[in-house]
Amino acid sequence: MPRIESHPILAVEKTKKDVSFLFNGETVRGLEGEPVSSALIALGFFEFSRHPKDSAPQGLFCANGQCSQCTVLIDGIPRKSCVTPLEEGMDVRTLKGLPVLPETDMPLKQAERRTIHTDIVVIGAGPSGLSAAYELGKMGFQVLLADDKEKLGGKLVLQTHKFFGSEEDCYAGVRGIDIASILEEKLSRMPNVTILRNSPVVAIFKDRKAGIYKGYSSYLLVEFTALVVAAGAREKNILFPGNDLPGVYGAGAFQTLVNRDLIKPARRILIVGSGNVGLIAAYHALQAGIQVAGIFEIMGRINGYKVHADKIRRMGVPIHLNTTILRAEGEGKVSKAITAKVDDQFKPIPGTSREYEVDTILIAAGLASCDEFLRQAREYGILAVAAGDAEEIAEASSAMFGGRIAAFTLAKMLGKRAEINPEWMPKREILKSRPGDTFSRSPVVPGPQWRPVFFCSEEIPCNPCTTVCPTNAIHLRPLRGTIMDLPYFDNTKCIGCMSCVSICPGLAVSLVRRVADDSAEVVLPWEFEADFDIGYEMELVDQDGRFLEKAKVVAKRHNKKNNTWLLTFRTSVQNASSIAGIRVQPEEAAASLPVEESECLDLDAYVCRCERVTLREVVEFIKANNVRDINQLKTLRVGMGACGAKTCSQLVPKAFRLAGVDPAEVEMGTLRPLFMEVPMGELVNEGLSKLGGKEAGVRGAP
């Protein structure tokens, strides 16, 4: 697969050193420091291991270090390739079956034990963790912030789109990647905040110690007084035959490859789930030059913001409601996806099956809070608060306020005289609001002067267009009295500055004016490559993506502040005020074929990917053994794999329901002592720095 050589939003750096390494004995090349998994995918290798149970191919799934699907042998040691940086001369091999411990006669080199003390450990450096650490640092606490990535910001570092919310309070109109940099820069000025990158917290203990896998190379214990759990959320998996094939990714893994590592891992994708994650993933795919066959939602409504969905439809991506994926097919990798319409019981409707030729399927079926450490801390009597998605799934704008509030809440628990700003709580409630009512807007008649036309019709928390208008002519219609209200133009003065067009996160504002009796000019935002000349003809569509007319570009301008192109078109007068966007991909990108009806074989889907246990096996075991405790499923090895039940725990309740058991009556599974795997040598030899690599067996002081 090719690398992304140019991107309309992201800077493509050419500074990384090109290095050679071995893959299955063949000399290949990658970029120094990039994840080994990304280097392999860029070379077109998607199979990383063969499962010991049935030799099934395993590929990248989470790109987050939490599962083991990307494990390969690196210099003789099994390593997760998604968190292992590439080095010159590495010997990388497909892991076939169970790994064999390497032989070594080298004695262990002992190192001095060191203990780190801090007041507060903040787990996770997403928007909530960064905000919490900053506020606690301002209050004078010694803070240790540990994150599992090199770049701080959590999912912000994957977001190339502009954010909704309040311009004043949470950087609305700014791209997620830029918000991450702003928050990181603020925190870097705090001398009492220590930041550990590439260092996931893997355990907490009753004696108030946290185990940290520092640099993915050594195990470190940190003594602390209190915790902020801001570990974010993980994507939920779903059940369908073929859900274990390489090429089935969590949407976040896809965004990691495309927007962080600048790898083009697919040619044509299919997305399951219409929440904001799925809608945004479609946008990121298009920006990377990847076709999107469609977004498929089993419910009868879109789960994300309507303005996001409208934007994607305008670009040529269909959204199929009341539709599910039946199965994925492929020899060693996804090559097809079969979908079908469902009835009001979510059962496939005969005669509605369609086949899509795709090489990648993205799962965007919701998020589950990473709150394990919070539950453990409270069980142990440790002072702990949650922030962001670890507390409640919401948008990043809300998470920033959540981090601030968590910091002040914890400070008060520790006896600090700290009062939460009374404005924060109501603002946070607004920012995490679900979409409100939808309104029809009155038609706009183009006149000789520029005026904005708004294509946002659903109440969501957003106000940047009102803050950038130099004539103060854009306001929120005062129905709710909050930023949930929709914007409108007060018909005073528009100078045609295009600021409202360039800042809108939903690309839902245009400018129009009549220039002759039968023609008008329309200004539209464009966040793709604009390497075309004046006179280039493009397809223009309405708010819902319906084709209106072809028109030529008569002017183009780049807004550097918002990193957005502004294209001016000469159009007909009758269509001018209805033109909302530009089609990006051709209709044939969403083509499909009818197929003979095929039953939705959920029972053949894998519940436990790590141990390859199907839904059928789990259901039959529950029935045969009258199971009422999830721990009993460990007999089948469900939950015993490398991911620590992070994936299957979301799917097991369905197995109980199919077996006729109410999941609410079932005893929960026991949490693993460690959140993720740590090699035994690095765990036992606390404080030592190395295991594996080209000098496997050598250890030294950190």
Instruction: Report yes or no on 244 lying in a domain.
Output: no
Name the amino acid, one letter, at 296.
Answer: F
Kindly write down the DSSP assignment for every residue of 308-347, as one continuous string.
HHHHHHHTT--EESSEEEEEEE-SSS--EEEEEEB-TTSP
Domain end among 530, 561, 590: 590
Instruction: Report yes or no on 681 lying in a domain.
Output: no
Chain centroid offset of residue 340 CA: 26
Q: How confident is the model at residue 696 (pLDDT cuts 50, 70, 90)?
A: very low
Helices (H), 196-244: none
Query: What does the alpha-carbon distance between residue 38 and residue 81 come to, in Å, rounded to a whole number?
Result: 8
Q: Residue 66 has what pLDDT?
A: 85
- 29 and 83 co-located in one domain: yes
Q: How confident is the model at residue 694 (pLDDT cuts 50, 70, 90)?
A: very low
Q: Closest by alpha carbon to 174, among 505, 527, 558, 526?
A: 505
- 96 and 136 co-located in one domain: no
- 484 and 427 co-located in one domain: no
**Bridge pairing between strands 143-146 and 120-123:** parallel
Tell whether the model's pLDDT for residue 691 goes beyond 60: no
- 458 and 578 co-located in one domain: yes
Q: Residue 384 has what pLDDT?
A: 97
- 161 and 222 co-located in one domain: yes
Q: Residue 695 has what pLDDT?
A: 41
Q: Closest by alpha carbon to 568, among 504, 508, 525, 507?
A: 525
Q: Residue 700 has what pLDDT?
A: 31
Instruction: Report yes or no on 177 lying in a domain.
Output: yes
Per residue in 599-636, pLDDT (tens digit) is 666 788 999 999 999 999 999 999 999 999 999 999 99
Q: Residue 298 has what pLDDT?
A: 97
Chain centroid offset of residue 207 CA: 34
- 466 and 565 co-located in one domain: yes
Q: Exposed e or buried b for every residue in 202-212, given b needs 16+ CB within 10 A?
A: bbbeeebbbbb
- 528 and 584 co-located in one domain: yes
Long-range CB contacts for residues 588-592, cutoff 8 Å, separation at least 24: 589/268, 589/291, 589/292, 589/293, 589/316, 590/292, 590/293, 590/294, 590/316, 590/317, 590/318, 591/293, 591/356, 592/293, 592/339, 592/354, 592/355, 592/356
Tell whether the model's pLDDT for residue 197 goes beyond 50: yes
Tell whether the model's pLDDT for residue 689 goes beyond 80: no
Q: Exposed e or buried b for every residue in 623-651, given b needs 16+ CB within 10 A?
A: eeeebeebebbeebebbbbbbbbbbbbbb
Q: Which residue has the tokens 């009796």?
A: 517
**445-449 average pLDDT score:** 95
CATH of the domain at 19: 3.10.20.440
Q: Closest by alpha carbon to 183, among 199, 213, 163?
A: 163
Q: Residue 601 has what pLDDT?
A: 62
Instruction: Report yes or no on 341 lying in a domain.
Output: no
- 577 and 458 co-located in one domain: yes
Per residue in 334-354, pLDDT (tens digit) is 999 999 999 999 999 999 999
Query: What does the alpha-carbon distance between residue 531 and residue 9 come to, in Å, rounded to a whole number?
Result: 14
Domain that holds residue 645: 608-665
Query: What does the alpha-carbon distance between residue 279 and residue 308 come to, in Å, rounded to a whole number?
Result: 6
Per residue in 227-237, pLDDT (tens digit) is 999 999 988 99
Length of the chain as a residue count: 702
- 468 and 570 co-located in one domain: yes
Q: Residue 393 has what pLDDT?
A: 84
Chain centroid offset of residue 674 CA: 24
DSSP 430: H
Per residue in 466-520, pLDDT (tens digit) is 999 999 999 999 999 999 999 999 999 999 999 999 999 999 999 999 999 999 9
Query: What does the alpha-carbon distance between residue 3 and residue 166 come to, in Å, rounded to a whole number?
Result: 35
Query: What does the alpha-carbon distance between residue 645 and residue 538 come to, in Å, rounded to a whole number?
Result: 49
Report the number of distinct structural domains present in the chain.
4
CA atoms within 13 A on the CB side of 444: 29
Query: What does the alpha-carbon distance between residue 270 and residue 429 come to, in Å, rounded to a whole number?
Result: 33
**107-135 average pLDDT score:** 84
Residue 235, helix vs strand vs coil: strand
CA 695-700-702 angle, to 5 degrees, is: 120
Q: Is 393 exposed, middle or buried (0-12, 13-18, 19+ CB in 10 A)?
A: middle
Per residue in 57-77, pLDDT (tens digit) is 999 999 988 888 999 999 988
Instruction: Report yes or no on 671 lying in a domain.
Output: no
Q: Which residue has the higher pLDDT, 181 or 697?
A: 181
Instruction: Report yes or no on 577 lying in a domain.
Output: yes
Paired tokens of 583: 């089609």
Query: What does the alpha-carbon distance between residue 69 and residue 81 come to, in Å, rounded to a whole number?
Result: 9
Per residue in 268-315, pLDDT (tens digit) is 999 999 999 999 999 999 999 999 999 999 999 999 999 999 999 999
**550-571 average pLDDT score:** 97
Domain end among 82, 103, 124: 103
Q: Which residue has the tokens 């759990």?
A: 229
Query: What does the alpha-carbon distance between residue 581 and residue 544 come to, in Å, rounded to a whole number?
Result: 9
Tell whether the model's pLDDT for residue 526 goes beyond 70: yes
Q: How confident is the model at residue 693 (pLDDT cuts 50, 70, 90)?
A: very low
- 488 and 398 co-located in one domain: no
Q: Residue 697 has what pLDDT?
A: 34
Q: Residue 300 has what pLDDT?
A: 96
Q: Residue 599 has what pLDDT?
A: 62
Q: How confident is the model at residue 671 (pLDDT cuts 50, 70, 90)?
A: confident
Q: Exposed e or buried b for every residue in 250-265, given b needs 16+ CB within 10 A?
A: bbbbbbbbbbbbbbbb
Q: Closest by alpha carbon to 45, among 94, 3, 82, 105?
A: 94
Q: What is the mean pLDDT of the chain?
A: 92
Q: Residue 546 has what pLDDT?
A: 97
Instruction: Report yes or no on 258 lying in a domain.
Output: no
- 180 and 145 co-located in one domain: yes
Q: Which residue has the higher pLDDT, 162 or 600?
A: 162
Q: Which residue has the tokens 């490559």?
A: 529
| Percentage of the chain lying above the pLDDT 90 cut | 80
Q: Give Cβ neighbours of residue 654 (< 8 Å, ≥ 6 apart).
A: 239, 615
Domain end among 48, 68, 103: 103
- 57 and 144 co-located in one domain: no
CATH of the domain at 407: 3.50.50.60
- The predicted model scores a pTM of 0.94
**322-329 average pLDDT score:** 96
Instruction: Report yes or no on 626 lying in a domain.
Output: yes
